[in-house]
Chain A
Amino acid sequence: MFFKSYLRKVLLVSFIMAFLIAITNFFVDPGSIYQKYNFSTQNQTSKEFVRLAVESKYGVFRPENIFNERDIVREFAIYPVNYDCAIIGSSHVKQMSLLRNNKSLSSYCKSIKNFGVSGASLEDYLAISNMILNNEFKPKKVIFGIDLWSLNFGRDKRYVQYKKDYLSMINLLNNSENVEKSQYKGEFISIFFNLFNLEYFYRSLNEIIEPNFSKEIMEAPQFEFEKGLPYDVIMPDGSLVYSSQVIKEAEIKLENLDGLNDYKLVEGSYFQDYAVGFFIELVKYLQKNNIEVFFVLIPYHHSVISNESQPILKTIDKVTTKIYDLAKLLQVNVIGSYDPNVLQCTKDEFYDETHPKASCLKKLDNKIELNEK
């Protein structure tokens, strides 16, 4: 009798706790994952955020945890405005801008839209390409920031935020609907179980206790790009300026970088053949739509390159060779290098091991491999 009652209590309390946590995560939704289902007005806000950013003079604040960066990128991609170059890649390209003193790729682009997102994967490339092709204002050039993990599927799951665009592009390129939809089913389960994620719950609680900044979208005043403002700023071209706190902390970090880096890398697995196949099809498809494609290699910090004992160097070697092979095959120009010495970037022109400052990105043109038609 005692045991039955004990079991009932354990199950009841567990259920109530789990339910409350899931409800909190669903409605507070600090990462804007459930906004499609929870009747929030966040979608409208992302659109409003992008409109204000594009129309602003110096950009808008992007406080942490309010907007899902992939939602912003989606709205940015479908926003109707003329532009020359679309930059697609990870946070490594997110600093690239023509609106700063240190302009990136100024010899190639008259205007840019920066679609960089954290940890961008091949799935992101496909989804964003689909978005920009569906906009009546198409770019003349698409610049892919190729990271060491880019030629693989499954290195980041966040693309699921714009899964429809991803699936649509996959179908367009290969008509392999069934395979990819089964992959999506797994993602849906992940999203469901995220309702019971402790870390997400902490963020939800944090959001309730200390509401982040203001939900109002605020324009940034004129400021020095090298020093930043209290919050990250998204510039009118979609590029990012880090907050003053991040910039300050980076200065301290920079003094003691150990050069160890294996972000998203899997030892012995440099690129998947079928992923490379999709990427080739994507580039060909863009070219067929009269869009010129470029590959950009963003440099790592000197400490990474000089740390000879770590496996990333082998990855750099393998991936670089593959990228140059692909560039030749597809007649695509390759700009930049993973080696900061090739571009003549100095050690203090970085925020950390993997994120160069705009002053370094300005020097990308120092290394160009032409494969023009």
Chain B
Amino acid sequence: MLFNSYIFIFAFLPVTLLGFYLIQNRGHHSFSIFWLVAASLFFYGWWNPAYLGLLVFSTIFNFIIGIHLGKNSNNASLNKIILIIGVATNLSILGYFKYANFFIDNLNAVTDNNLILNEIILPLGISFFTFQQISYLVDAYYNETREYSFLHYCLFVTFFPQLIAGPIVHHKEILPQFIRTTVNTLKSKNIAIGLTIFCLGLFKKVILADGISIYASPIFDAAEAGVAITFFEAWSGALAYTFQLYFDFSGYSDMAIGLARMFGIRLPINFNSPYKATNISDFWKRWHITLSRLIRDYLWDPVSLSLTRFAINKEYGVIRIYILTVIIPIIFSFFWIGLWHGAGWNFIIFGFMHGFYIVFFNLWSKSKAKFFNFSIFENSKFSLLMGWSITFICVVFGWVLFRAESFEGAQIIINAMISFDEIVLPQNIHMIKHWFSNEIFINGLYDSNFKAAIWILLLLFISLALPNTLQIMKKYKPALESYIGEIVSSRNNYLQWRPIKTWALFTAVIFVLSILNISGESEFLYFQF
């Protein structure tokens, strides 16, 4: 079931919400949690009931492991073994469903064999609920978890707003909310705030992301088919995908945050205007924040810490310490970020690419003060503009690898994007009359369709000049912030949401427009991860 489907909006959501509040109002808190778990499992099973078994197994297995880790906190060696079994089982399941075919394909290529594995269907959201539970096990090992009830734990894993595509929630921030009984009574405030955030997300997904997607797909499909692509076509395809991905994924996150809020639950912030970032490190603090946070806390920190200890013990020099404690942990973390997104070399290269971006940025930041101490590099507008431009271009190149179905396809587009000597202006200018037609393929890929350019400029404006959903809703604490002040409220008073007539009208209009546009359901891009 998709958030942007009639069945979800007009049947599943109202029934689940009504049932939840009716049960809550009669004072049956545990039963209301059970109701939410049942609804979430129904939501997950709607797609393919066969997936349910795995989710249920994973939840029960990790809960039992978590209990054992808590019980044996005095026995460090036993606990370590339990943790290893728990993490290894999770990773094995994920590895089998997500990476087995990739592994076999590469093995075949290297050994010249022809091993064939039956087609494995990737369970939805497996990366999300697996990593969420691994982090829970690690915290249980360090005795940082409380003894939660099985029902609450089930809801922590399966809560439908965040089950399929995040935000990746941490037990410390979400489980206490389930336990509190007072927040879950029917509050028109929660419904109003949640509904508005949901509508904004739905609009971003259905109107903006789906609207621009038709300009990205033909270019990438053509590249996969080996068709030669011009400079402009490559850039328009890459930029169209850049905005498609952002509005799709952030729209989804907004919907998830809005839905959870309707039930009185606040999810963590996942996007914070990432295309406003003026350096690559800033970008990763704004893009898929909950994944970055998870990787930082459970991968980067431990690896960096152990390598630091190792380097100090060995009494290495400055350069070797820098390589061991900064470069290797960064590259290693980004390798996993790449692989987390998908089983393909393009995802791995995407990860490495961003890892190297971060390393270069780190080197630049360190050397700037020492070797390039010019006023131009101070916090001037020019410096910020330069920083933004470089960051944005780097990100766009990264998305090409992310979107392309094969490395060869990505190569064709990237080559065209940097082939400055082959810039060809649109031919057959007489086709200008087709500016506003829907013909994408009239002459070449884009010659006669400037709608793509208009879309790109419009979405660039929205991404850069307008506040994001959470900034608009800032006054009402729409999401959990990673640190105080993460969401900065909009300076423009008109762009701050209040429960007034104008905003009601605006919300209704974007809701109806989105509903009207749900003629063909399109899957969220991030579901595949």
Contacts and interface: CB of A to CB of B under 8 A. Distances in A.
B195 interface: yes
Interface string B74-89: 0000000000000000
Contacts of A307: 225
Contact of A258 (B193, B227, B507): B227
Given A198-B513, A198-B516, A252-B431, A13 B504 contact: yes
Contacts of B222: 258, 260
Interface stretch (A174-182, A189-197, A285-293, A356-364): A189-197
Interface string A303-317: 000010110000000
A39 interface: no
A17 interface: yes
Interface string B427-444: 010010000000001111
B509 to A, nearest CB: 7
B500 A6 contact: yes
B192 A3 contact: yes
Contacts of A6: 192, 499-500, 503-504
B425 to A, nearest CB: 15
Interface residues on A, range: 20 to 34
Contacts of A2: 499-500
Nearest to B442: A253
A149 to B, nearest CB: 18
A28 to B, nearest CB: 15
Interface in B474-519: 499-501, 503-505, 507-509, 511-513, 515-517, 519
A10 B507 contact: yes
A203 to B, nearest CB: 12
Contacts of A252: 428, 431, 442-443
B512 A3 contact: no
B442 to A, nearest CB: 6
B6 interface: yes
Contacts of A197: 516, 519
Contacts of B195: 7, 10
B226 A309 contact: yes
A256 B444 contact: yes
Contacts of A201: 516
B188 interface: yes
A21 interface: yes
A23 interface: no
A214 interface: no
A99 to B, nearest CB: 31
B508 A9 contact: yes
A309 B225 contact: yes
Contacts of A194: 519
A14 interface: yes
Contacts of A5: 499
The interface residues of chain A, by DSSP majority, are classed as helix
B188 A3 contact: yes
Contacts of B509: 13, 17
A247 B222 CA distance: 26
A110 interface: no
A9 B501 contact: yes
B191 interface: yes
Nearest to B514: A198
A18 interface: yes
A250 to B, nearest CB: 11
A224 interface: no
Interface in A263-313: 307, 309-310
Interface string B459-487: 00000000000000000000000000000
Interface string A223-265: 0000000000000000000000000000011011010100000
Nearest to B476: A3
A4 interface: yes
B368 to A, nearest CB: 46
Nearest to A12: B508
Nearest to A192: B6
A10 B519 contact: no
A260 B191 contact: no
B28 interface: no
A199 interface: yes
B189 interface: yes
B503 A21 contact: no
B443 A253 contact: yes
Contacts of B191: 3, 7
Contacts of B499: 2-3, 5-6
Contacts of B504: 6, 9-10, 13
Nearest to B445: A258
Nearest to B499: A6
Nearest to B7: A189
A10 B507 CA distance: 7
Contacts of A12: 508
Contacts of A193: 6, 519
Contact of B517 (A7, A11, A198): A198
A21 B442 contact: no
Interface string B205-225: 000000000000000011001
Nearest to A6: B499
Nearest to A22: B516
B522 to A, nearest CB: 14
A9 B225 contact: no
Interface in A1-52: 2-7, 9-14, 17-18, 21
A14 B444 contact: no
B335 to A, nearest CB: 31
Contacts of B503: 6
B508 A199 contact: no
Nearest to B511: A14
A200 B187 CA distance: 37
Contact of B515 (A7, A18, A309): A18
Contacts of B225: 260, 307, 309-310
Contacts of A3: 187-189, 191-193, 499
Contacts of A310: 225
A319 B295 CA distance: 49
Nearest to A4: B188
A180 to B, nearest CB: 22
Interface of B: 6, 187-189, 191-193, 195-196, 221-222, 225-227, 428, 431, 441-445, 499-501, 503-505, 507-509, 511-513, 515-517, 519
15 contacts: A2-B499, A4-B192, A6-B192, A6-B503, A7-B195, A9-B501, A10-B508, A14-B512, A17-B512, A196-B515, A196-B516, A197-B516, A252-B442, A256-B428, A260-B441
Given A10-B504, A309-B226, 4 more contacts: A10-B508, A252-B431, A253-B443, A256-B442
Query: What 5 pairs across the A-B complex have the smallest Cβ distances?
Result: A13-B508, A198-B516, A9-B504, A6-B499, A309-B226
